[in-house]
Structure 1
Amino acid sequence: MSTTHQTVILSHKGEPLTITTRPTPKPGPNELLIEVHTLAINPVDHFQRDYGVFIKDYPAILGSDVAGIIIETGSSTRSTLKIGTRVTALASTFFTPGNDYGAFQKRVLVKEDFVSVLPNSFSFVEGACFPLAVMTSWNGWIWAGLEPMSTIGSGTSTTTTTSTNEGVFVWGASSSVGTLAVQAAKLMGFKVYATASQQHHEYILGLGATRVFDYQNANVLDQIVSTARSDGVSIRIGYLATGDQQLAVNTLDALRGTDNAKLAIAPIVDSELKVPDGVESAFVSPPQDPDELRERSRSIFVNWLENKLAAKELVSSPHAKVIQDGLESVNGALDELKAGVSCLKIVVEL
């Protein structure tokens, strides 16, 4: 195996990424070295490139989502992770600082708790669509009071609702995070009331939503509330993946009746957001304590995602647009995402 590999680096804020070669690192005891076959682009990536968001030092390697094959294992990784295993992984410097860990490179180090085995029934393109969206959606649901696994390490026990009329609300359901939030809530047994552009309604219904509403409709708040009441569905938990934060808060406020409600918000919370009494909102984020973060990531990636992929209970979402020009195409992919996409995940093949 070569001792070096290609990567794209950000030398300074606001500059294009440039291709370079860097030494290939060795995995630590609980780490894996992955040969990246595909990487996916997320909105945070272009914010990092253009505005330096979440970057402490330059040069920096960006990116979070990869799928590929394990080419080297640490001394203490779990037995299911062997050389040659196909995996999907969250390869981000958000949680593990240092350029050995950023996704935009041909070989990347990943902590084992951020890795899920990728069955042969999923392509590498499909696999790259999962990691950050799964982590972000579950951080929101957990903050709101839901848990991916009721017993850490059990691999089988998933929290579900016992009520046939209990629902959740997902605003911006056609986004990458929104589609995974819909699927996770559906798998827990909730009725999912979602918003998306009209052209994506059938797709979101196919992912498990009970009702989908056009957020561009001037009467969307009244439509959601009246439909939920007509259906006899109680909604006290919401997730905003993207879109109008104030309208989402107002909608959940109208839905909650006399109960308290929680709205998890994936983007940075609008500083002018007015949250009424009875509704709590928060930016979704993982635990800051290292031990809690390990427990959280293992719960999500090992106990939930890995099991759901093996059982074929999840689909890769949203639709993938594949770019086959390797690392040279990452800048263009970031520009395309920045210009705006709808119900689309941009995936680069290496």
Structure 2
Amino acid sequence: MSPQQKALILPKKRGNLKVDSRSIPSPGTGQLLVRIHSAALNPVDYKIHDTGIFVTHYPVILGVDIAGIVEGLGEDVENFRKGDKILAHGNLYIIDQGAFQQYALTVATFTAKIPSNQSFDSAATVPLGLDTAVGGLYGSDRGAGIDPPWVKCVGDHGPKRPIVILGGSSSVGSYTIQLARLSGFYPIVTTASPNNENLVRDYGATHFFDRHLSGNQLVAAINKVTDSPIGIVFDAVSLPETQSVGWRLLAKNGILVLTLPASVKEDEGKGRKAVYTHGDPHLPYNHELFSNSWPMVEKWLSEGIIQPNNHEVLPNGLEGIIGGLERLRMGQVSGTKLVARPQETL
């Protein structure tokens, strides 16, 4: 193996992304060295590039959605071996763990084997989207705090609870719908563009509404779906206008789960709260939750409990990421995850 690899590097805050060479890292304790076959793009990648959020040290390698083959093992790694096909949640705070390069280190705790029914490309669409949904639904500090499916049998006992998921065709929204189904919610109400109605219904949504309806129209329509109080609204879009809709739908003592900072004002007396969830398993307060969820990932994918996102493969390896991020920035991607193949970099 050559000691050098190609990587898409952000050299400074708001700098120009550039493919360059860097050393292939060596795995430390609890880590895997992975030859990355597929890396998925997320909106947070261009937001970090454009604004510098989350990152304090440069150079940076963006991307956290990794799928590839294990090339090396650090000490105390027990459940993997060289040659395993894996998916993993990378870490943009550590340059050796970024996804937009040909080789990266992954943390074994947040790595899973890819079952035979999935490709590298499909598996790469899973980590951040699924982890954000897991954190938002099951996290006790920055989530709704409901019992996760690996703790107790849900769905067969007790009254059905409604849930509203705004932005159901997004990556986070799609995994939230699927986990809501697994956790026994009913009805599962979602919004999306009309051309994505079949997609979100396939994921498990029981009721669909056009996201282009006005706030008043959405609130009125969704409130007709169920007589039960809506205790959880998961806003996978989290723009001010969607937060306003979610807040108005929420029952007393309900929780609005957000993927961006809250713009709604918590009101006294009703007990409602808005939580800004973070689907990063590397953050200390998330370690326990994701240490329990990642061992479920291979099973969920193998059994079809969780379906990966639809995806589109970008041309030109790492170079193709630059144009892909621009498409995300311009809002030109819907119901699909963009995936790059670093090994195809010229």
How high is the TM-score relative to the length of structure 1?
Answer: 0.88
For the Cα contact (< 8 Å) 2:89–2:128, is it kept in 1? yes
1:114 partnered with 2:113 = no
Instruction: Give the distance between the partners of 2:78 and 2:147, measured in 1 at CA.
Output: 23
Identify the residue that residue 300 of structure 1 maps to in structure 2: 293
Identify the residue that residue 88 of structure 2 maps to in structure 1: 89
Identify the residue that residue 284 of structure 1 maps to in structure 2: 277
Instruction: Give the distance between the partners of 1:158 and 1:115, measured in 2 at CA.
Output: 25
Which segments of 5 or more consecutive residues in structure 1 lack a partner in the other structure? Answer: 152-156
Shift of 1:44: 0.7
Number of corresponding residues? 332
Instruction: Give the distance between the partners of 1:159 and 1:204, measured in 2 at CA.
Output: 22
Instruction: Give the distance between the partners of 2:82 and 2:281, measured in 1 at CA.
Output: 31
Which of the residues 324, 327, 344 maps onto 2:336?
344
Identify the residue that residue 266 of structure 2 maps to in structure 1: 275
For the Cα contact (< 8 Å) 2:14–2:49, is it kept in 1? yes
For the Cα contact (< 8 Å) 1:195–1:213, is it kept in 2? yes
Shift of 1:148: 3.1
Identify the residue that residue 105 of structure 1 maps to in structure 2: 101
Shift of 1:166: 1.3
Identify the residue that residue 309 of structure 1 maps to in structure 2: 301
Give the 3 Å change call, closer, same or farther, for CA 308–243 of structure 1 in structure 2: same
Which segments of 5 or more consecutive residues in structure 2 lack a partner in the other structure? Answer: none
Instruction: Give the distance between the partners of 2:277 and 2:8, measured in 1 at CA.
Output: 28
Identify the residue that residue 62 of structure 2 maps to in structure 1: 62
Identify the residue that residue 5 of structure 2 maps to in structure 1: 5
Aligned pairs for 1:77-226 within 5 A: 77-79=77-79, 81-93=80-92, 97-142=93-138, 143-151=143-151, 159-160=154-155, 162-191=157-186, 192-218=188-214, 219-226=217-224
The one-letter code of the counterpart of 2:341 is E
Instruction: Give the distance between the partners of 1:205 and 1:77, measured in 2 at CA.
Output: 39
Instruction: Give the distance between the partners of 2:147 and 2:306, measured in 1 at CA.
Output: 17
Shift of 1:39: 0.5
Shift of 1:137: 1.1
Which of the residues 318, 325, 330 maps onto 1:327?
318
Identify the residue that residue 154 of structure 1 maps to in structure 2: none
Give the 3 Å change call, closer, same or farther, for CA 307–240 of structure 1 in structure 2: same
Shift of 1:246: 4.8
Which moves more between the two structures, 57-66 or 11-20?
11-20
Shift of 1:292: 4.5
Shift of 1:141: 0.6
Shift of 1:294: 2.8
For the Cα contact (< 8 Å) 1:253–1:261, is it kept in 2? no
Shift of 1:252: 5.0
Instruction: Give the distance between the partners of 2:304 and 2:123, measured in 1 at CA.
Output: 13
Instruction: Give the distance between the partners of 2:175 and 2:27, measured in 1 at CA.
Output: 30
Shift of 1:248: 4.2
Percent identical across equivalent pairs?
Answer: 28
Q: How big is the alpha-carbon RMSD for the aligned residues of Structure 1 and Structure 2?
A: 2.1
SS at match of 1:333: helix
For the Cα contact (< 8 Å) 2:238–2:259, is it kept in 1? no
SS at match of 1:227: coil
The one-letter code of the counterpart of 2:62 is L
SS at match of 1:162: coil
Shift of 1:98: 2.4
Shift of 1:150: 4.7
SS at match of 1:63: coil
